[in-house]
Amino acid sequence: MAERQALNATFYAFRKREKGGVLLGLSLTFAIAAAVLIAGFVALFWSSIGPVITWYGQLIAAAGKNDPTAIQSIGFPTGLFTFLLGLLVWLFPFYILCAAFEAGCLRWLIHGERRGFMGLTLGAETWRVWSVYWMWVLLNIAFSMALSIVMMVLMGVVAVGAGGDPTATLTVLPVFYVVQYSLMIYFGVRFAPAAATTIARRRFAFFDAWTVTKGRFWALLGSFALLYLIYLAFGLAMGAVWYVTVLGAAAPDLSGIGTDPARLNQVVLEFAQAYLRSLTEPRTWAILGALQVVGSIVALVFYVATFGINARAAQVALEEGKIKAAV
């Protein structure tokens, strides 16, 4: 086995390479294809989308007024279930596109290979990455079911031990949630390079990611944490821009909300009302559209950066002999 290498994975995707512009071309092609899919969905289901948006606005307005009677009287729009069914069907081609994009990025970052149209292809590697997505779905379902059972048993034991005191179970919840999210982070990091490992090995290799991340947990966690902090900072900055430019002088006074629950409820109501009023102005939609574009670009850069972390982990595992590519 080769000598252990430093990972240095956080910004691996953006390192200068002999041939530049490959990831940029891939990202632009993906963005255009995604926009076409979104536009196609809107065009096909516009008759259902309009009533759903109106219904959602009515719900927000009723919730802002804290009026349960109004919420119950709103009912469901006639096109809601058609919209949801259409959205469910639409998610299949969209996530296949996402798998093609991720496979293209990983193929370039790990093997230096570029195939298909601007790096996108519906070849075997795309379907393997798509299978990795399904494996994540199944594992999340299994994990949620297992934790639900553990939580019910644990709360039952605590309730019996406390003589039926319902407040005793509340003391267990914080500890349970700490354990739950700690496990989610640990296993999430250990299996994070599953798609990258699959591309590196040129075969479906989800569980080989455990071998790839052996001894690399803290380095990978640090890389992901730094990226998420940067992404969070961008999100907060964009939220501040939205708050100032959309609500502006109509923004509610936030003083006292931390100590006065009644004031907090009043601020929520004022906030919802100010936001709904702002949607009647064309300027608001222009700002929201611009922020959506900027947010999409930032999200795309973030995802490519995470691909780079996973690609670097898989690439180093190949070089160290932890895993081997299929012949």
Helix (H, G, I), strand (E, B) or coil at 120: strand
CA distance 289 to 293: 6
What lies within 8 Å, CB to CB, of 292 at 6+ separation is none
CA distance 252 to 249: 8
Higher-pLDDT residue of 297 and 242 is 297
pLDDT recorded at residue 198: 95
Segment 231-266, tens digit of pLDDT: 999 999 998 888 888 877 767 766 666 666 666 767
Mean pLDDT of the residues in the chain: 84
Under the banding of pLDDT at 50, 70 and 90, the label for residue 327 is low
pLDDT recorded at residue 45: 82
pTM given for the model: 0.83
Segment 111-131, tens digit of pLDDT: 988 888 888 999 999 999 999
Segment 120-176, tens digit of pLDDT: 999 999 999 999 999 999 999 999 899 888 888 877 777 777 666 667 677 777 888
Task: Please tell me the number of Cα atoms within 13 Å of 208 on its side-chain side.
Answer: 23
| DSSP symbol at 205 | -
What's the mean pLDDT in 70-93?
79
Under the banding of pLDDT at 50, 70 and 90, the label for residue 63 is low
In the predicted structure, residue 92 carries a pLDDT above the cut 80: yes
